[in-house]
Amino acid sequence: MKNSYLIALLLWWGAIVPKTRAQGPIPEAGAGLPPTTALAPKADVSLEGLWQGKLLLPGGSLGLTVSAVALTGGQYFAALDVPMQKLHRVPAELQLVPGTDSVRLLLPQLGSRLLARLDSGNLLLRGTWTQPGLRTTLVLRHAPLPAAASTVTALSRPYREEKVIFSNFTARLRLAGSLTVPAGTGPFPAVVLLSDLGAQDRDGRPADQSEPTTANYPLLSLLADYLTRHGLAVLRLDDRGMGLSEGNTATTTTTQRVSDAQAALNYLRTRPEVDLLHLGLVGHGEGANVALLAAAQPLPPAFVVSLAGYGQPGLATLLTQQAAALRALKLTPSELDIRLRRQATLAELVRYSTNLGQTQAMVANLLRQDEPSLLPEMAQLRAAAQLMPWYRAFLTFDPLAGLQAVQAPVLLLSGLADEQAPPADHQLALEKELRANGNRTVSSQRLAGVNHLLQPPPTQWVVLDGEPRPIVAPAVLETMRLWLVAQARK
């Protein structure tokens, strides 16, 4: 999700290691690295997989994993996990330097990088890890991605899947996605899946990390697989700027995303396999708010499923999330109070800015006061990120505005373990607003043990190769299925 957890993640990272003196300038890729075995670079070398190792620190070490999934054009979707520090899916840029065995791993949000060489038949990465105040050697060993990382199931799927491209004429963009259709001739009830905060691909894997998430958890792909197996056609999208979709999520506000949802609905209305009278939207988090806004427009969906939707204004949501993240650091009461007041001041600066250049300087100054070790250039980069159009619009976004026009059936579904959008605050607000404006077809359920990512407690996860893998809570899937079946019968 976008920037709601970004500040907390960076604060956690700053606490990972004791600060040591930097050791000179950062080398070019491959320069000054440990000797490697002779390796003739090949055009078909792939970095896809899990790269695991231990970051050596004064007084100990930290295990870390970089997961890399190959994309088109020789690029990779990569992310960093440091379980001991509760850092999950921090976005990374992974590059194999053309014609060499040199590899660059860049983590802009953390101000860190790894410059390394492939070794031992491309099974090792040996190089130098650099971050503010620390420079050390690092060796990462390759392991294949688990089956769950790239596919929903190893079994053959009892439905067909098609890659599609269609136009959002309002925004003058092309959007891309995958359409899964049950076996048979149809027409079938159908839904469009809408992702939560931040740029995500059609499977639900984020490119821009701002909330803790779990590796190898393609939420949208899992939802599409389940729903298609139970008789619904499902379209899931690459968000703007992801995969094959044009545009830029960072400059797209929540309300602007409504036109993407409408374009997806209109595309499905051209498909003979789709039952046009039973065509709806299923949104997660911010995607739920997008779905509800689309239901208030002309040509609304026949129904809406809100999964962990937001019911509080963006600023209140952000401050609540940041407070929870800071409390997890177990600060003293006085330190916590100072941090919370600085976060509130920072949000207000961003929200009411009229001069972006001046505001960036003020935000950077506030960030450095909060983190004295933060380099000036990193403070400027982080300040610029918080002045992106989406973030500023989110701070002023009111998810209840416009709901008076929503008369389609709505299922509000959340988990009681959701700490990012606690249902007692968010779902209750949505339910009250919808009912107050005459919508008599609102259903609301809260499920025990389910978090914001719709996962059950880890004790209920699937174990693959000795490792627990996150799943969508069966109670979420079954509740949604029963409600959708009831809509299809109307």
Ranges of each domain in the chain: 6-145, 150-313+397-488, 314-395
Going from the C-alpha of 13 to that of each of 55, 88, 196, 258, the distances in angstroms are 13, 11, 24, 35
Q: Indicate whether 221 pLDDT > 70.
A: yes
Residues 272-284 have pLDDT tens digits of 999 999 999 999 9
Higher pLDDT, 150 or 299: 299
Going from the C-alpha of 42 to that of each of 47, 48, 100, 103, the distances in angstroms are 12, 15, 8, 13
Q: How confident is the model at residue 406 (pLDDT cuts 50, 70, 90)?
A: very high
- For residues 51-59, give the mean pLDDT: 82
Q: Which CATH superfamily is domain 150-313+397-488 in?
A: Alpha/Beta hydrolase fold, catalytic domain (3.40.50.1820)
Least confident among 33-37, 48-52, 114-118, 221-225: 33-37
Confidence (pLDDT) at 238 = 95
Exposure letters 245-264 (e unless 16+ CB within 10 A, then b)? bbbebbebebebbbbbbbbb
Q: Cis omega (within 30 of 0) on the bond before 187?
A: yes
Q: What type of residue sits at position 386?
A: Q
Report the distance separating Cα 412 and Cα 427, nearest Å. 7
The total number of residues written for the chain in this structure: 490
The phi and psi torsions of 227 (rounded to 5 degrees) equal: -65, -40
| Cβ atoms < 10 Å from Cβ of 59 | 7
Confidence (pLDDT) at 50 = 87
Residues 431-448 have pLDDT tens digits of 999 999 899 999 999 999
Least confident among 3-17, 288-302, 312-326, 361-375: 3-17
Confidence (pLDDT) at 15 = 33
Residues 68-94 have pLDDT tens digits of 877 656 777 788 888 776 676 778 889
Tokens standing for residue 237: 């999208």
189 membership: H or E segment, kind and range:
strand 188-194
Q: What is the mean pLDDT of the chain?
A: 82
Higher pLDDT, 108 or 127: 127
Report the distance separating Cα 420 and Cα 422, nearest Å. 6
Q: How confident is the model at residue 176 (pLDDT cuts 50, 70, 90)?
A: very high
Confidence (pLDDT) at 11 = 32
Least confident among 121-130, 310-319, 336-345, 405-414: 336-345
- Nearest alpha-carbon partner for 461 in 453, 451, 471: 471
Tokens standing for residue 62: 């930290």
pTM here is: 0.67
Q: How confident is the model at residue 185 (pLDDT cuts 50, 70, 90)?
A: confident
Confidence (pLDDT) at 32 = 37
Just give the CATH number of 6-145: 2.40.128
Beta bridge partner(s), residue 91: 79
Residues 360-372 have pLDDT tens digits of 888 888 888 877 8
Cα torsion angle, 299, 480, 315, 207, sign: negative
